[in-house]
Structure 1
């Protein structure tokens, strides 16, 4: 019997992780399968016990469990601890170890679009969940001097920044309306929320009416390939980056943690694009 891996979140029906990972297992000649597991918050402990017992060999973690799952793990990797969120669980010597590949995966996907010196960029991150933590921590680690987190609840944005930043001069929290009104000062805008994800594809997280000329707009959503948010940005002349690159890169890094093997990222990308019709 082969190994079993999966994705835990709520909801997860939209995810392409099973298609991507199962093809990678086949390509690497690994006897394993990957399934999407719709898990509500009250069932997190039960699922982690299944991993501990070997009924599941490892999982990815997605919205809304990336922070709460940490309470049920034995060890947290230093990067995941710094970010304050986990998206990958590995069973190692009977212990459950939490990692975070979101930050590295995102930076790998966006780096070719950024100037050589990102320190002078003004960056706006929309959302204050687990993915936002990873993105923000990565930018701060790269030395960005101006980072704003905008969220419907400003207090949650403040909490995020207090967890990951020791320099209050380089960070700030805003409401979504405050970010909209000052949008012209941002060089890069990143949507880390699920607003605009299939099937609610007409929604956008904030208005781009005041978007800066030649800005870069990034959306972590990959289904649809072009969200309404990215479409509006492109129509304004902005450079747009969808979530496929981050999705593939974070998945490939998780795959390496589970198997010790580097999968073919180009093949993984093609699987995602083919499935989405892109």
Structure 2
């Protein structure tokens, strides 16, 4: 039996095992997806384990997305640019570090929400690790402009400078945010605001001035409806939480490991069912 893992600490919330094991079962693949909740000192020996013949690879989550990079034999372009690895593929003992968060986000927007980002004006809240993947995704999808707003302006400025080679990206402060949001097509929250333990949401007033055709995206999926999304829906805006991104990034990892098409709808249903429990 083949193995695939998710590496992280802590791993209490992960929906990935449920999603992937449902897919393995559906396609009659003799494989199991397991959690590996590891301490930092155990990371090197765990990475070596991934080189074994019976291992497909692993997904990587907080806090190891950067820490695994030096152990990789090769890195994909997306992993290099985003500066994080969320998927490891074992190719005959050689490890490829990849990032499927960016493509997962775009597929979620296009295929699940029916939103085409090309030529659109986007505003992203946050400039952390998740923001890097979303920014990379949107710039590669040819948005007209991507504005970044972060509590620490310097962090937003630094990210904009680093990703300038990909397209039109600018850091904006509070005053500019109020001006730009009036003509914004896509508002994305990449911060942890809205997670289960953090219901206080400072960004909600922003949705009231978005155009009627505006789309609000939140990469948080616990709770399924953050205050930001609930407020957006109240004023009639289309919304999407982070579950579709999770499913699509997982589906791409599955396809890289198994060389088979991932049963996306089945994975989505399994994740949704687990989330509702």
Asked if these proteins are the same fold (TM beyond 0.5), I'd say: yes
Match for residue 204 of structure 2?
207
**Residue pair 2:24, 2:30 contacting (<8 A) in 1 also:** yes
**Residue pair 1:83, 1:164 contacting (<8 A) in 2 also:** no
Match for residue 194 of structure 2?
196
How many residues are paired up?
273
Give distance in 1, aligned partners of 2:201 and 2:41: 30
**Residue pair 2:136, 2:166 contacting (<8 A) in 1 also:** no
C-alpha RMSD over aligned residues:
2.5
What SS class does the counterpart of residue 166 from structure 1 fall into? helix
Greater shift in the superposed pair: 240-249 or 79-88: 79-88
What SS class does the counterpart of residue 210 from structure 2 fall into? coil
What SS class does the counterpart of residue 96 from structure 2 fall into? strand
Q: What is the CA-CA distance between 1:86 and the residue it aligns to?
A: 1.6
Superposed counterparts of 1:36-51, under 5 Å: 36-51=35-50
Residue 118 of structure 2 corresponds to residue 118 of structure 1: yes
**Residue pair 1:125, 1:150 contacting (<8 A) in 2 also:** yes
Q: What is the CA-CA distance between 1:253 and the residue it aligns to?
A: 0.6
Match for residue 22 of structure 1?
21
**Residue pair 1:213, 1:237 contacting (<8 A) in 2 also:** no
What SS class does the counterpart of residue 52 from structure 1 fall into? coil
**Residue pair 1:140, 1:165 contacting (<8 A) in 2 also:** no
Q: What is the CA-CA distance between 1:267 and the residue it aligns to?
A: 0.8
Q: What is the CA-CA distance between 1:56 and the residue it aligns to?
A: 5.1
Greater shift in the superposed pair: 239-248 or 31-40: 31-40
**Residue pair 1:18, 1:35 contacting (<8 A) in 2 also:** yes
Distance 1:39 1:90, change over 3 A: same
What SS class does the counterpart of residue 208 from structure 1 fall into? helix
Match for residue 172 of structure 1?
170
Residue 65 of structure 2 corresponds to residue 74 of structure 1: no
For normalisation by structure 2, the TM-score amounts to: 0.87
Give distance in 2, aligned partners of 1:191 and 1:249: 18
Give distance in 2, aligned partners of 1:178 and 1:39: 43
Greater shift in the superposed pair: 252-261 or 91-100: 91-100
Distance 1:164 1:40, change over 3 A: farther
Distance 1:56 1:116, change over 3 A: closer
Give distance in 2, aligned partners of 1:103 and 1:167: 13
**Residue pair 1:83, 1:137 contacting (<8 A) in 2 also:** yes
Match for residue 132 of structure 1?
131
Greater shift in the superposed pair: 205-214 or 71-80: 205-214
Give distance in 2, aligned partners of 1:137 and 1:201: 27
Which deviations, in whole Å up to 9, do the C-alpha atoms of 1:153-182 show, x marking residues without a partner?
A: 2333233233332267x211245x457534
What SS class does the counterpart of residue 196 from structure 1 fall into? coil
**Residue pair 1:201, 1:224 contacting (<8 A) in 2 also:** no
**Residue pair 2:251, 2:262 contacting (<8 A) in 1 also:** yes
**Residue pair 1:208, 1:233 contacting (<8 A) in 2 also:** no
Greater shift in the superposed pair: 59-68 or 108-117: 108-117
**Structure 1: 5+ residue runs without aligned partners?**
none
